[in-house]
Amino acid sequence: MPAGPTESADRFERPRVAVDTVLFAFQERRLKTYLVQLSRGPANGKWAFPGGLVRRGEMLDDAVRRELKISTGLTDAYLEQLFTFGDPSRDPDAHVVSVAYMALIPDPGRVSGPSPKYAAGGWFELSALPPLAYDHAVMAKYALKRLKSKLEYSNIAFALLPPIFTFAEFEELYSQILARPIDRRNFRRRILAMGLLRPLKETRRGAHRPAALYSFARQTLQMIEML
């Protein structure tokens, strides 16, 4: 005697608490985000950011990490709380208050397929998202806005880049995510002057002139006026 959606909703006296995670990675010179395809519920077939209900006694961050592990296999990511969405009609099935997080990782290749809980999972360019469930399109906009603004006044890029990278990769990340061209000379001068990056002695050899390698001076979030 399974409960239908409506009856199910009535079983809860209070709003439920969930977390949803907008996971970003920079891959093939593009910012991408990870989505899962729902296989049940009123939004069946639509895509969504991975998320789920918070358990009793669980920290919000722990709930995010748990869901991230289930959906992607990831055990480490930079996490930042974004906003809490509480419109009772955002999920037609029940009153779910969702705390949205942004997660950043340097290497999207490490992500394993989603759990059987979902029909599918994959990376999407932000300009070509499939139809999103609930209010997740709003979350996507909100997350991108936050990421853009943090790029301009913090060293948050460290969470999207591998430990060692070229200056061109660093600059490409900025110009792609901010969606505007960046003056190479001015940008390099400013970044190096503020000591954000640590120049390494090695270079990366490729098809052309070798590129000097850098790593971040600090791997923790620092607020700095950048642009």
Binding at 1: pick from a copy of itself, DNA, none (beta carbon under 5-8 Å per type): none
Q: How far is CA 168 from CA 182, 191, 193, 211, in A?
A: 11, 12, 17, 8
Binding at 182: pick from DNA, a copy of itself, none (beta carbon under 5-8 Å per type): none
Size of the site for a copy of itself (CB under 8 A): 23
Q: Does 208 bind a copy of itself (CB under 8 A)?
A: no
C-alpha 103/C-alpha 85 separation (Å) is 17
Q: Which of 57, 109, 116, 181 binds a copy of itself (CB under 8 A)?
A: 57
Residue 111 main-chain phi, psi, to 5 deg:
-70, 130
Considering only CA atoms, which of 173, 141, 140 is closest in space to residue 155? Answer: 173
Contact 104, 59 (CB under 8 A): no
Q: Does 188 bind a copy of itself (CB under 8 A)?
A: no
Q: Name which of residues 165 to 204 contact DNA (CB under 7 A).
A: 166-168, 183-186, 188-190, 203
Q: Does 95 bind a copy of itself (CB under 8 A)?
A: yes
- Helix/strand number for the chain, H first, E second: 5, 10
Nearest to DNA of 88, 199 (CB atom):
199
10: three-class secondary structure by DSSP: helix
Binding site for a copy of itself (CB under 8 A): 12-17, 53-60, 81, 83-84, 86-88, 95, 97, 99
